[in-house]
Every structure is written in C-alpha cells, then in structure tokens.
Amino acid sequence: MAEFSPFAHIAIGMARFIRPDEVTFSGVNSTFAMLACLLAKRAYDFDFTYINVAGGVDPDPSFIPLSSSDPVLSQGSCSIFDNEDFYDLCCRGKMDLCFLGAAQIDGEGRTNVSAIGDWHKPKVRLPGGGGGAVMLPTARRAVTWRTEHSPRSLVQKLDFVTASGGMHGLATPIAIFEKRHGRLALKHWHPDSSLEEVIARTGFSFDAIGATPTPLPTDREREALASLDKHGTFERDANVRLR
Amino acid sequence: MSRSKIVSLADLASRIPDGASVALGGSFLHRGPFALVRELIRQGKRNLEILKQSPGYDIDILCRAGVADRARVGIVAMEGNFGMAPWYRKAVEQGRLKLEEHACATLTAGMRAAAFGVPFQPVGGLHGSDLPELNGWKKLPDPYGSNEETWVIPRIRPDFAVIHVAEATASGDARTFGTPNWDHIMTRSAGRVLIVAEKLVEEEVFAQQPELTLVPRLLTEAVAIVPNGAWPGSCWPLYEVDYPTIEAYMDEKNEGFLDKHLAEAPETRHG
C-alpha cells in the first residue's frame, strides 16, 4: 500500500467534502482549509467557486503562502470579495461550505476556540472563534479539522461554546466524521488505524454504522497535494502524527 | 488642492492620548499600521484599547510593551505556522488585558451601528453560542412580524481608526491594493481617522480612477508617509511578510529584543 500520511488524510479528507457548483470558503489561520480548496481545484474535474479571506474569487496564486490570509490568494481573481461581503453572503444563506477552525469539538459538532478552563480565569487563552459564532450556524455546511485526535480535543463537554450550529464534517489524522441525525458520525478511519482506536481516542460517543477505512488518495489527489507542498514545508510545519 | 495633511509618524502617534480606543487596519500579518504601533510604544502610551477583528503582531507587541490594557477582538494569532500570539495570551491569562471577545462579524456589526448613525445593529448567526451571554447582547423579535429573531450588537465607535495603505494624496485620500480587509467599516465608524501610507501620490493619479479610493479626504485627519511601514508584515503588492523577523520576534524572549526590534524598524530610517 502506498503511504497515506496523516497530513494527507486531513487535507484530502477535507477536500472531499467540497461539492460541484457550490461556493466554498477558507479563512484566516486555516492552512489546511486553504490547501483543501486549492487541492480540489487541481484534483477534481467539477467546477466550484473558491472564495477566501484575502478577497479572492477563484484565484490563481503565484505561490502557496504560509499564511492562509496572504493577499497573494487574491492574485488572478477578477474581483475582491472582501470580509464584509463574504460574512454577509454567509448570513443570508448563500455560503454552501465553510471551513472553520476549532480547538475543542463536541459530538454535536459545536466548537470551542475561546478558552480552556473558565473563560474568565482561563488556564489557556485560545485565539478566539473569528467567524465561527456567526458562520457556523448560518453556512449551509461547515467542516473543521484537528491535527490532534484525542479526548482533549474531541470532547464530551466543551469548556465554552464559541460557535454552535453543528459541523457537517471533521477530519483528523485517523478519522473522518460526517453529521448524521444532528451528531457527528464516523464515516472513515485511516487505513492504518481502526474503529477501536477511534473510539478510544474520541471523548464523545458516536454512531459508526457503515464506517469503512478511508479510500486511499487517487493519483490526482496525491499529485495535487505534492504540487501545493513542493518542499514539504506545510507537512513538516503541521507535524501531524498518526499516534 | 486643499491644505496638506502630511505629518511625521511621531506627530501622527502623538494625536492618540493614553486611554484611547484605537481600531487598527489590516489583518494578521498583512497591511497592518505596524510603524504607528511601534511609535505608540516609543512614545510610552498607556491603557490603550485595541479594536480589530483579526489582530496578531500588533496586539501582541502592544501587550509585550505594556501599552494596551483592553481589547475587542475576533481572533488573535500570529498566523502562518506560528500559532498563538504569546504575549497577548499571557496578558489575558494574567488579567493584564481586559478582553471583550467578539466574532469578527459582531465587532463589524457594532462598527456598522456607529457608521450608520444608529445605537445598535442586528447581526446574523450567534444562535447557541455562549458569546451573547458573556457580553450581555440582546435578542430582538422582528417588529414587522416575520417571527424571526436577531441578536443586536451595541454601537462600537473607536476613538481612532489607523490604517496602512499603499498610496495617499497630500489631502488625505487613501487607497489600497488587494483586499481592504475591514478598513472600510473602521474608517466609517471611528471618531478620527489617521493614515499611514507607503507612498505620496499626486491627486491627478487618484482622479483618474476615483473608484479605487478607499478613504476620501473628508474622513482623514492626517497622513504619515512611511515606506515599508507594514514591516514585518506584508503590503500588497509591494512586499511580502518578513518571516525571519517574525521568527526572531517569537524566539527571542529577552527584554533587550524589543529595543533592538524597534531600532531596526524601517521608520527609524525614514524619520
């Protein structure tokens, strides 16, 4: 079996949530979301609209930036669809798929990006939710990712609910979840992992009916990811491990 | 041509008194008014409130230098592959920075209220989030009977908006290239607008394409010309992020670093 790195599992797992003819958004502090959108453009034959926080609408950036809000992500775009515009688009129900970050996720797909511990006396102050509280409940679908799959990040109870409304999908090094009947259900586990391992490393209970090993990357998915991360910088910096 | 609004960077910063609330333009490492931020540190400002949907280096260095003690923000990070803003994090965890946590769109809604001349502004989303209760935000029914409800955000009127742009005229017109981020609503909601520009441009150039102008002169109080002033961040399309400097900023935790960093900043070479 060709190697399926946990880094690729997340990036390709996210890209596979993108659907034809939809509007898909990647935001700030979201390297994986940026890579997933650019990967889908290169690996899939269908058309979709990729918009991003740099104002780009189907851009053709001359390099892949470390920062997912780098203005190079509007290069080649025929318009600048700026921050106020894409938030308003989302609020009026026209954002099909929104990639949003999270530190903690619960079984309903709600997120905490605010604080670990009591918000007022935090053990750890987190970055904050950015768009989450407004975009998660208003986007048609939202997908998140975690580079660490553990009961610390996939929790029974959030320390603080930054954003509610429920993620449609979640990609981790060892699992792909998709919403079913209002809760995250296991769809796939990494071929080098197992259902038992996903259960042991997940803080919330979940439905796993019909779950299968994640289909291996296609040649085009592999090539697309390699072309986006020519020097392996993103994979090295992300430092994702299977376990 | 109207009277010139060009002043020095020191003059620009001196207009912001201790305790003022200041909205900073740009986003994360991109097109932030970082030269002005550093000048606030040099002038020993205290007790500033920082408003910005997505601050990073700016709020972090202001916390590092003890200049800011309040913030209204949506998401704070150094971004790229640097993760969290460490001095901001410490300041919040140790209670030295009083945080009002927003979603980016709620901060914008409050600014829209100020820009629109109304006391509050409806905003989409927020259902199920703990943020409304945390901040005491209210939910209102549609008075026109649709049975919809909307959260409303109270007016947010920063004392100052400071933005960094590619080009400005001597009369105070300003324009950027690439995304304006949140600079449009910041400059419409703030009491006073200060501009830092890479380059002074003749008015005829702006007049050829007035639709590119982000801030018209009537909103602008003063302009400082500071080439490379968004360093170590980017200013599209002129220069990219100086990642080695960001790395040094993150790694060198000794007290001397800040002085060294301030001394090597480009504005010190241009007066």
pLDDT surpasses 80 at B2? no
The question of ipTM being above 0.90 is answered as yes
pLDDT surpasses 70 at A1? no
* Mean pLDDT over each residue of chain A, to the nearest integer: 96
- What is each CA distance from A19 to A23, A37, A81, A109, B35, in whole angstroms? 9, 11, 21, 20, 43
Q: CA-CA distance, A208 to A185, in Å (whole number)?
A: 6
* pLDDT tens digits, B236-267: 999 999 999 999 999 999 989 999 999 999 99
* Contact flag A92-B75 (C-beta cutoff 8 Å): no
* pLDDT tens digits, A221-239: 999 999 999 999 999 999 9
pLDDT at A2: 57
The CA radius of gyration of chain A, in Å to the nearest whole number, is: 17
Best probe of the B interface among A34, A62, A67, by most B CBs < 10 A, is A67
Cβ pair A109, A179 in contact under 8 A: yes
**Assigned domain for A206 exists:** yes
**Assigned domain for A243 exists:** no
User: Which distant-in-sequence residues (6+ apart) come within 8 Å of A226 by Cβ?
Assistant: none
User: Cα-Cα-Cα-Cα dihedral of B82, B86, B92, B93, to 10°?
Assistant: 110
For A95, other C-beta atoms within 10 Å of its C-beta total 23
**Assigned domain for A239 exists:** no
Q: What is the mean pLDDT of residues B16-25?
A: 98
* pLDDT tens digits, A119-153: 999 999 999 999 999 999 999 999 999 999 999 99
Q: Give the residue from A79, A87, A139 showing the smallest Cα distance to A109.
A: A139
Q: CA-CA distance, A210 to B6, in Å (whole number)?
A: 67
* Contact flag B185-A161 (C-beta cutoff 8 Å): no
* Contact flag A129-B134 (C-beta cutoff 8 Å): no
pLDDT at B1: 57
Q: Which helix (H) or strand (E) holds B202?
A: none
**Assigned domain for A118 exists:** yes
pLDDT at B267: 96
Q: Which of residues 210-239 of B touch A (CB under 8 A)?
A: 234, 236-237
- What is each CA distance from A214 to A117, A173, A211, A219, B93, in whole angstroms? 34, 11, 9, 15, 40
pLDDT at B83: 86
Domain interval for residue A10: 6-232
Helix (H, G, I), strand (E, B) or coil at B221: strand
**Assigned domain for A155 exists:** yes
B97 contacts chain A (CB < 8 A): no
Sheet harboring A169-171: ordered strands across?
A: A49-52, A23-26, A97-99, A141-145, A169-171, A175-180, A183-189, A212-213
DSSP strands (E only) in chain A: 23-26, 49-52, 97-99, 104-105, 111-112, 115-118, 121-125, 141-145, 169-171, 175-180, 183-189, 212-213
Confidence of residue B271 (pLDDT cuts 50, 70, 90): very low
pLDDT surpasses 70 at A76? yes
Best probe of the A interface among B53, B93, B106, B129, by most A CBs < 10 A, is B129
Q: What is the mean pLDDT of residues A37-48?
A: 98
* Contact flag A133-B29 (C-beta cutoff 8 Å): no
* Contact flag B126-A127 (C-beta cutoff 8 Å): no
pLDDT surpasses 70 at A200? yes
Please report residues of B whose CB lies closer than 8 A to that of A92: 124
Option in A66, A72, A127 nearest B80 (CB): A66
Q: CA-CA distance, A79 to A117, in Å (whole number)?
A: 42
HEC profile of A61-78: CCCCCCCCCCHHHHCCCC
Please report residues of B whose CB lies closer than 8 A to that of A83: 27, 53, 104, 108, 179, 181-182
**Assigned domain for A56 exists:** yes
Distance of CA B256 to the CA centre of its chain: 26
* pLDDT tens digits, A85-130: 999 999 999 999 999 999 999 999 999 999 999 999 999 999 999 9
Residue whose tokens read 């932030």 = B32
* Contact flag A134-B124 (C-beta cutoff 8 Å): yes
List beta partners, residue A146. Answer: none
Q: CA-CA distance, B211 to B256, in Å (whole number)?
A: 46
* pLDDT tens digits, B57-91: 999 999 999 999 999 999 999 987 788 999 999 99
Cβ pair B61, B87 in contact under 8 A: yes
Q: CA-CA distance, A198 to A186, in Å (whole number)?
A: 9
**Assigned domain for A242 exists:** no
Q: What is the mean pLDDT of residues A184-200?
A: 98
Please report residues of A whose CB lies closer than 8 A to that of B99: 125
pLDDT at B153: 98
**Assigned domain for A240 exists:** no
Please report residues of A whose CB lies closer than 8 A to that of B103: 129-134, 163
Q: CA-CA distance, A34 to A212, in Å (whole number)?
A: 27
Instruction: Tell me how far apart the terminal alpha carbons of chain A are, to the nearest angstrom.
Output: 19
Residue whose tokens read 């990070």 = B77
pLDDT at B270: 54
Say how many domains are in chain A: 1
Please report residues of A whose CB lies closer than 8 A to that of B234: 70-71
Considering the segment(s) B9-103+156-268 as one domain, its CATH architecture is 3-Layer(aba) Sandwich (3.40)
* Contact flag B124-A91 (C-beta cutoff 8 Å): yes
User: Cα-Cα-Cα-Cα dihedral of B168, B174, B178, B182, to 10°?
Assistant: 140
Best probe of the A interface among B90, B106, B126, B179, by most A CBs < 10 A, is B179
Confidence of residue A38 (pLDDT cuts 50, 70, 90): very high
Please report residues of B whose CB lies closer than 8 A to that of A237: 81
Written as one letter, the residue type at A55 is: G
* Contact flag B54-A131 (C-beta cutoff 8 Å): no
* Contact flag A127-B76 (C-beta cutoff 8 Å): yes
Q: What is the mean pLDDT of residues B226-245?
A: 97
Written as one letter, the residue type at B256 is: G
* Mean pLDDT over each residue of chain B, to the nearest integer: 97
Residue whose tokens read 């796939």 = A188
Helix (H, G, I), strand (E, B) or coil at B234: strand
Best probe of the A interface among B75, B151, B183, by most A CBs < 10 A, is B75
Kindly report the CATH number assigned to the domain that includes residue A184.
Answer: 3.40.1080.10
Q: What is the mean pLDDT of residues A56-79?
A: 96
Cβ pair A112, A153 in contact under 8 A: no
